[in-house]
Chain A
Amino acid sequence: MRKTTRIGLGAVIATLLAAGAAGADTIKIAYIDPLSGPFASTGTNGLHQYEFAAETLVNEKGGVLGGDMFEIVAFDNKTSPKESLVQLQVAIDQGIRFVVQGNGSAVAHALTDAIDKHNRRNPDDRVLFLNYSAVDPALTNENCNFWHFRFDANADIKMDALTDIIATNPDITKIYVIGQDYSFGKSVSAAATKYLAEKRPDIEIVGNELHPIGKVKDFTPYSRKIIASDADAIITGNWGADMLNLGKSVIDTGFDGPIYTYYAAADGITAAFGESGKDRLRLVTEGQTNPPPNDTAADYIKAFKAKYPDGNMSQTRITNVMEMLAKAIDQAGTATDVVAVGEALEGMEMDSMWGGKLYMRPEDHQLIQDVLITVHTDDDIQYDLDNSGYGQHLESRVEMAGMDSPTTCKMRRP
């Protein structure tokens, strides 16, 4: 409530300022993500990270095109695809040409469709969609288009990296895959089955289970099955309360192997696991924060935490979005011709602030980057999450993960 009010006020002030400064050199970027409802905390935290990145990485360094400033304009989509389309229209009407969104592949699908149609019908005010974390592989495969760029590794690439790491561990011979019963859970399960069969055919998948999403009160019966199956490790794409409850339950019932996850950090999860998840929870992610890869990254996190003490520097890819967009605008020499900006983004290479290289693959607009496996611990953690003393520590790194991963994208270029 408090946060929402603050954002609401912020948005109003920002809009007023923007209206007042019409004609001045600001490049507006629409942030369409949940700022109210059950996922509001994730959306709000993301907004802060965007505002901070635009301010620190672009505006304070003199902006783009010799002095134009970035400005993040927040739109609340309540995690609903329908609401997102309304907000997209408002953003377009305000003359905004860049849209960022990340929470929920269903929303991303709606936006990418709508933007594709809009751009075909209105060649004079086209829009680019910078997807910073919706990971459904379809977005850069059968449903790809020129206007969509994905800055997060997709679910397949992440599973590929995860199974690379699992394959090197000779202690693991039996794996249990469990997930939420909807498209994302199913794609995680399918990818796990496929990659494990390729890389370690000797590993037996002793369980492959989908549970109702957001409805399970107590995961104990599921964890009993996992224990009874004699699994050495667990793979799950669960997020939110489903992740927390499943994780706690398997640990409590005596499971002592690693739990490989996609989203078991920040937004209250790290704090709630605390000691019980230590050295157990492993996360496939990008962007290294512990140990910080360099002084720039360390200073950046420090400055972010100074400004938002309750926030989490949890989505490091947001800085990549801002930096690459700034670079592309400078290269294209324009912020209004998004075709030129898009072409500048295609094939762009850059060094990430978080270590490693970034490469925007031109064929499908999937950013290729290092994918990391991190572990939940309090040893040697300089930057914790949820102010809990616990954080994600780098364990291993797959360089340029998915560099030559296949894509079915047949892109129509403008």
Chain B
Amino acid sequence: MDLVLVNLIDGLVTGLLLFMLSAGLTLIFSMMGVLNFAHASFYMLGAYFAYQISVYLGFWIGLLVAPLIVGVLGAGIERYGLRRVHQYGHVPELIFTFGLALLIEEVVQFVWGKDQVPYVIPQILEGAAFAIAGNTIPLYKVFMIFLSLAIFGGLLYVLTKTRVGMIIQAALSYPRTVEALGHNVPLVFMGVFGVGTALAGVAGVIAGPVLSTFPGMGVVLGSIVFVTIVIGGLGSLGGALFASLIIGWMTTFAKAYDMRMEDLLTAVGFTKPDPIWDSAWQDLWTLTSPQVADILPYLLMVVVLIIRPYGLFGKRDA
């Protein structure tokens, strides 16, 4: 029972981190129709910038400044790159972001090298916050939880309660009408792209010290963010949060408990072939949940797409 609680907390941390990545991506996707393949690269840039800043000015300055730099960089790329490519249609846009992802990875390797960089948790957040039956919850994780929740709250407030949010939401569905009303829609796009990438940057800044900062960190998370926004539904912040948490908990519990396919199959009524190593079904029977944990989200995505093609909270087709 204690372990369930611990895993709930661990899954929450994973989920909220995923949310910060997917929140930006889902806004950008629904607004501009661009699947930004380079989104996870901005996450990596956040971690690397924060590392570099933390070497000279400490973690906290890094936490404040790195996402800003990433956001400005993102906005710049939208203004001078994506916007120009946009007129040629969606495919060039996709290819542009794809190339951008490769470019960013090469640049990171060029500047910081191919090894992990020693980006560490600040002294004040080191150590355990509390323990549940011998399982310590690191202080840093608690910090991650509160920071992500604060960001979610802030985003929700801006999008639903402010004028800016109103314009953004309107521009999501009726860009031409909003433009006709005198709003600068391209500027809104640029702003959303900048904020979206900055959010990915924040995720990088806080994930870097725990998940380690290395040139492959973007690729590792790359595909799972897309899965998250598809499950949650395009353009839905709530959907992104919901899907992130589901994925976080699902993978955590699958890894933490060694559920075996064998038990499942026998429970359903199959009999185990004997000897198992001669059976053609050997791989199926010997499967355990930690082995399949990382593909469960993809399975969920397929199921969701079959039942609700526009995602759990989405309003239009994926």
Contact = CB atoms under 8 A, between A and B. Distances in A.
Contact of B116 (A2, A40, A211, A268): A268
Contacts of B119: 272
Interface string A246-280: 00110011100000000000011101101010000
Contacts of A18: none
A221 B256 contact: yes
A379 interface: no
A228 B113 CA distance: 37
A368 B183 CA distance: 77
Nearest to A41: B114
Interface stretch (B145-153, B214-222, B262-270, B273-281): B214-222
With most chain A CB atoms within 10 A of its CB, the pick from B118, B251, B293 is B118
Contact of A225 (B113, B120, B256): B256
Contacts of B291: 181, 212
B115 A41 contact: yes
Interface stretch (B64-72, B134-142, B185-193, B234-242): B134-142
Nearest to B116: A268
Contacts of B224: 217
A306 interface: no
Interface in B246-267: 251-253, 255-256, 258
B3 A228 contact: yes
Contacts of A253: 135-136, 138
A220 B118 contact: no
A218 B134 CA distance: 20
A199 interface: no
B209 to A, nearest CB: 9
Interface in B1-54: 3, 6-7, 10, 13-14
Contact of A212 (B140, B253, B258, B294): B294
Contact of B110 (A2, A212, A221, A276): A2
A61 to B, nearest CB: 33
B211 interface: yes
A38 B134 contact: no
A38 B216 contact: yes
Contacts of B131: 254
B290 interface: yes
Given A212-B294, A221-B256, A254 B134 contact: yes
Interface in A143-172: none
Given A41-B115, A272-B118, A224 B214 contact: no
A3 B293 CA distance: 38
A224 B6 contact: yes
Contacts, number: 104
A220 B115 contact: no
Interface in A179-219: 181, 209, 211-212, 215-218
Interface residues of B, number: 42
Contacts of A173: none
A376 B106 CA distance: 31
Contacts of A41: 113-115
B50 to A, nearest CB: 15
B118 A245 contact: no
A300 interface: no
B252 to A, nearest CB: 5
Contact of A272 (B7, B116, B253): B116
With most chain B CB atoms within 10 A of its CB, the pick from A217, A245, A269 is A217
A228 B135 contact: yes
A244 interface: yes
Contacts of B214: 241, 268
B210 interface: yes
B3 A224 contact: yes
A41 B220 CA distance: 20
B212 A244 contact: yes
Contacts of A40: 114
Contacts of B221: 217
B216 to A, nearest CB: 7
B128 interface: yes
5 A-B pairs with least C-beta separation: A268-B115, A254-B136, A221-B255, A268-B116, A271-B118
26 contacts: A2-B110, A41-B113, A209-B290, A212-B291, A215-B220, A217-B220, A218-B14, A218-B210, A221-B10, A221-B251, A221-B256, A222-B290, A225-B255, A228-B134, A241-B214, A252-B138, A254-B128, A254-B131, A254-B134, A254-B135, A254-B136, A268-B113, A268-B116, A268-B117, A272-B118, A388-B118
Given A211-B290, A252-B210, A254-B135, 8 more contacts: A40-B114, A181-B291, A218-B211, A225-B258, A228-B134, A248-B212, A268-B118, A271-B115
